[in-house]
Structure formats: C-alpha cells, structure tokens
C-alpha cells in the first residue's frame, strides 16, 4: 500500500510548465514513403534578425531583436543550424532558394465576461432596482512559437502558390520557467522528431 501511495501518475503543475509541448505536422503528399520532397532540395533561406509576431490583440508586426541576443537571434540561429545539419545550404532570399523557413510567435489573447443576475425573494420584488448584476471577467494569454517550412521550388507547379510542407508548434512561451533555454530545447526536439527533414 505504501508503494502504491507513493506513485503519482498525474504530473504536478510545476512539471507541466517546466517543458514546452512540441507538436509537428507535415504535408503527407510531399513527405511519404515513396518520395520525400526534402531529397529534392539543396538550398534554403531564413531571416535571422527578426521573428514574426501575430497577435489577436495587436496588428501584425515584427519582433525586432532590440534587447541584444537574448531570444530572437539565438532561436532563429538554432533553427538555421538545425537545417544546415540536415544537409542544406543557407542562401540569400534573392538566390532562388528551394525552400524558406518562417519563425513566428502567435500571441493568442482571449477576453470574455459573464453576467449573473441575483435571485430575488418575491416579498422584496419591489426592491429589485437595488440589486445590480455581477460581472465576472476572465482572460487568458497563450504564446506559441511556430516554425514553418515553405516550398518555394515548386511555386509554379503548385498553381503559383507557396505551400507549407512542415510546421512545428511550441508553447506555452508565457508560462515556461526559463523562456530561452526551454525554447531552445523545444526547437531541438521539433527537428529531432522530424527525421524526414534531411537532404539524404
């Protein structure tokens, strides 16, 4: 009984926010057992000075690395180095790369209110004007780092459209204990669980 009581299968709250959840998705038509589109690629491009920022509460802007090398540059460089390690060569956007890499932060802010009207006793109905409704306000804020690989090489073949062939979602950026370290771990994990991103 003591042994069973000591086993705790449900993680503690501190453990839940220690590490980020990493989810990856890929386009099955482009990456399958018979043909992996990454084997047809050689070059890629990525911006290393900024990270995109999309928010439900602000207009679209860019996160500029104004605080030195604290977050943006280390994260974007790790993404770059991970792709180089997979056998691809980084080139300038004007050099006709085979694919492009986008790194973006999604800031999802939700705000809502509920209104509760108090119950009244029939004998005091004439005094209802003195009882105002109770307003409860709730909000949540969730930050997700998103990495996208976009097929540039086959733009014309895809009906003059850019096709996203791989995505990685990592979060929550706001709740994690050590933002930079945990983000770097999450980026490494995203590529580790996507072995098909390889020139070979």
Mean pLDDT of the chain: 79
Helix (H, G, I), strand (E, B) or coil at 20: coil
Q: Is the pLDDT of residue 31 over 70?
A: yes
pLDDT tier for residue 8 given thresholds of 50, 70 and 90: very low
Residue 101: both structure tokens together? 């890499």
**What span, in angstroms and rounded, lies between the C-alpha atoms of 120 and 112?**
26
Is the full-model pTM beyond 0.85?
no
Does the domain made of 19-109+142-192 have the CATH classification 3.30.565.10?
A: no
CB of 23 closer than 8 Å to CB of 32: no
Q: Averaging pLDDT over each range in 106-110, 122-126, 137-141, which range is the top one? A: 106-110
Measured CA to CA, the distance from residue 68 to residue 153 in angstroms comes to: 34
């Amino acid at each position: 009984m003591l042994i069973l009581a000591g086993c705790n299968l449900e993680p503690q709250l501190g453990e839940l926010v220690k590490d980020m959840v990493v989810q990856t998705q890929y386009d099955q038509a482009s990456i399958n057992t018979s043909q992996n589109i990454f084997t047809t690629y050689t070059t890629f491009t990525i911006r290393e000075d900024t990270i995109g920022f999309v928010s439900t509460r602000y207009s679209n802007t860019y996160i500029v690395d104004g605080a030195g090398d604290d977050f943006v540059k280390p994260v974007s460089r790790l993404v770059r180095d991970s792709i180089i390690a997979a056998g691809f060569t980084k080139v300038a956007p004007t050099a006709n790369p085979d694919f492009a890499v986008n790194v973006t932060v999604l800031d999802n802010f939700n705000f809502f209110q509920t209104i509760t009207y108090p119950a009244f006793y029939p004998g005091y109905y004439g005094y209802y004007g003195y009882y105002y409704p109770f307003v409860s306000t709730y909000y949540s804020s969730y930050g997700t780092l998103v990495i996208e690989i976009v097929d540039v090489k086959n733009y014309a073949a895809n009906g003059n459209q850019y096709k996203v062939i791989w995505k990685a979602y990592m979060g929550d950026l706001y709740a994690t204990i050590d933002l930079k370290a945990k983000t770097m771990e999450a980026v490494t994990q995203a590529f580790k669980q996507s072995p098909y991103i390889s020139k070979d």
